[in-house]
Amino acid sequence: MIHPSASVSPQAILGANVSIGAFTIVHENVHIGDNTVIDSFCEIGYPSPLAEGLPLVIGADSRIRSHSILYAGSTFGARFITGHRVTVREKTTAGLNFQLGTLSDIQGDCSIGDYVRFHSNVHIGKMSKVGNFVWIFPYVVLTNDPHPPSDVLLGCEIGDYAAVATMSVVLPGVKVGSGALVAAHSMVGRDVAPDTVAGGSPSKYICDTSKIKLKDGTDRPAYPWTSHFRRGYPADVVAGWDIPPSPRSESL
């Protein structure tokens, strides 16, 4: 299952039934879980002094699509799924079934919960904290420097079940509450309360998420999205979603 043109370090630790694609490079400080498939043209365990000797750990049953680069020093839970050309730098930890879209760029030193979905081309600054079941859409940037350039890094926090729509910027240190929605093309300069919609540049409170109706011909509420959207989540996870999840994380 290792393509003859791939270059796999003899020190790399590969689980059972791992597949490595053509021309892919696997460096030495790497642990890859069982049944993981890594496509072509990837660089896995890119060495960096900022990894401080920590390995790259990829959980079982993962799929890394072509042209991706994962640095040493990060850890991903089982069923990690990427698009193409993702880059993840050192010391990021992600939970179960993280899905990371094509061209996304995680700068390192980030923590990401379980069942998080980042769509294509997101940019996650260092020190970002992302909860569980979060959605982040294309061209969103989570920033960290309040007066660039400086050595002051204030990471953003995105609460459980929150969604940040396309082309929005979250300013340094801002917290987006659990279940909140950030509208497209917004600059979020203040905290967003849980279960509210914020939007604009600079962002303002628009309404509670409960006011948004699903545009599917029914008049059902669109949020919490767990009431109608389940694609890609395991059956045991969505089993509890017949009613809105409660209580939410109160970390934000």
Member of 49, 53, 215, 239 binding its own copies (CB under 8 A): 215
Calculated CA dihedral for residues 98, 104, 106, 107, nearest 10 degrees: 170
Q: How far is the CB of 91 from its own copies (least distance, A)?
A: 17
Member of 22, 205, 250, 251 binding its own copies (CB under 8 A): 22
Member of 1, 7, 16, 240 binding its own copies (CB under 8 A): 7
DSSP 177: P
233 binds its own copies (CB under 8 A): no
> Which residue shows structure tokens 């609460």?
159
Member of 26, 69, 94, 180 binding its own copies (CB under 8 A): 69
92 binds its own copies (CB under 8 A): no
Member of 15, 93, 210, 229 binding its own copies (CB under 8 A): 229
Cα–Cα dist 127/231, whole Å: 29
Q: How far is the CB of 202 from its own copies (least distance, A)?
A: 8
Q: Which stretch binds its own copies (CB under 8 A): 50-58, 73-81, 148-156, 244-252?
A: 148-156
Nearest to 111 by CA among 155, 80, 169: 155
Sign of CA dihedral 51, 55, 59, 65: positive
Nearest to 44 by CA among 78, 13, 4: 13
Q: Which two tokens stand for residue 4?
A: 């003859």
Q: Which stretch binds its own copies (CB under 8 A): 11-19, 55-63, 135-143, 238-246?
A: 135-143
Nearest to 58 by CA among 14, 103, 109, 102: 14
DSSP 236: H
Structural contact between residues 208 and 192, judged by C-beta atoms closer than 8 angstroms? no
187 binds its own copies (CB under 8 A): yes
175 binds its own copies (CB under 8 A): no
146 binds its own copies (CB under 8 A): yes
Q: Please name the amino acid found at residue 214.
A: L
Q: How far is the CB of 208 from its own copies (least distance, A)?
A: 13
Calculated CA dihedral for residues 57, 93, 203, 218, nearest 10 degrees: 70
Contacts of 235 (CB under 8 A, 6+ apart): none
80 binds its own copies (CB under 8 A): no
Which residues make up the interface to its own copies (CB under 8 A)? 5, 7, 22-23, 25, 39-41, 43, 46, 66-67, 69, 83-85, 87, 102-103, 105, 107, 117, 120-121, 123, 135, 137-139, 141, 143, 146-152, 154, 163, 165-167, 169, 171, 181, 184-187, 200-201, 212, 214-216, 222-223, 225, 228-229, 231
